[in-house]
Structure 1
């Protein structure tokens, strides 16, 4: 009986002893699909392009810790008219001024929307919101999803 008790105590001690976690695999950020290229000719695709970039930034903050890294990554997916627009900025890539477009994500994003976004996006979204109706026998979750999608394009809805 004493031998069984000693064995049990040994097993219990092993079970509660601190474990060496140095052999545990490190967390690896899951890879994500790169954004589709944006050529500046289809304004309705700009928001999706920006959202894809932002998902990647939030998924991998260690690599996208600065506005400059975010802007330079995003510019690699600009083609066509949008690519031609960014070329002069890229020719001055060594400019480290924080207000320079390549070093300022909010400015870069704002310029993309100003130059290539739909100037009537808010008005169209407001119209969609006015026309939004829940279909008979429709699911509330679908209505809410549509509603949230529309108000995300309006911006500061409370104003």
Structure 2
């Protein structure tokens, strides 16, 4: 009987020291990005970010984030990343894989709409002129671009 009590106490104390097992719900993987449609770069990045925020444990490092996003690049976008992938183990030439913000910025620069910021500003200006316009939506568009 004392052995049973000792085993029970041991099981309870080890269970109390472990955090509860919690698994975040799985999310749909981002659609593959081929670099041909400038309007899709933002949704690709946002899809990746949702997954990163949903699974902070697995995406705690920028390198993991960039490698994950890279696995969904096809076509022109895949051709762009190829030279970086071939030098993945070379610390100096694979700098892009160590900084998510740099990777994100490169995607926007190479495959995004170069006039996106100007368009959002122009829409914001014209919305201010309209009575009852939703300027706050346009302002949020400009903030996202900055």
Aligned residues: 130
Unaligned runs of 5+ in 2: 1-11
- The reply on whether 1:62 has 2:57 as its aligned counterpart is yes
Could you tell me how far 1:96 is from its partner in structure 2? 3.2
Q: Structure 1 stretch 90-99 or stretch 34-43: which is displaced more?
A: 90-99
Q: Structure 1 stretch 23-32 or stretch 102-111: which is displaced more?
A: 23-32
- 1:43 equivalent among 38, 58, 77: 38
Q: Distance in 2 between matches of 1:26 and 1:154?
A: 38
* Paired residues of 1:72 and 1:102 also in contact (CA < 8 A): yes
TM-score relative to the length of structure 1: 0.71
Cα distance change on mapping 1:50 and 1:127 into 2, 3 Å: same
* Paired residues of 1:39 and 1:80 also in contact (CA < 8 A): yes
Q: Distance in 2 between matches of 1:115 and 1:64?
A: 24
TM-score relative to the length of structure 2: 0.76
Could you tell me how far 1:101 is from its partner in structure 2? 1.0
Secondary structure of 1:26 counterpart: coil
Could you tell me how far 1:67 is from its partner in structure 2? 1.0
Could you tell me how far 1:95 is from its partner in structure 2? 2.2
Q: Distance in 2 between matches of 1:66 and 1:96?
A: 16
Match of 1:71 in 2: 66
Secondary structure of 1:43 counterpart: coil
Match of 2:120 in 1: 125
- The reply on whether 1:101 has 2:92 as its aligned counterpart is no
* Paired residues of 2:120 and 2:138 also in contact (CA < 8 A): no
Higher Cα Rg: structure 1 or 2? 1
Q: Distance in 2 between matches of 1:81 and 1:107?
A: 19
Cα distance change on mapping 1:51 and 1:134 into 2, 3 Å: farther
* Paired residues of 1:70 and 1:105 also in contact (CA < 8 A): yes
Give the CA RMSD over aligned residues: 2.5
Match of 2:141 in 1: 150
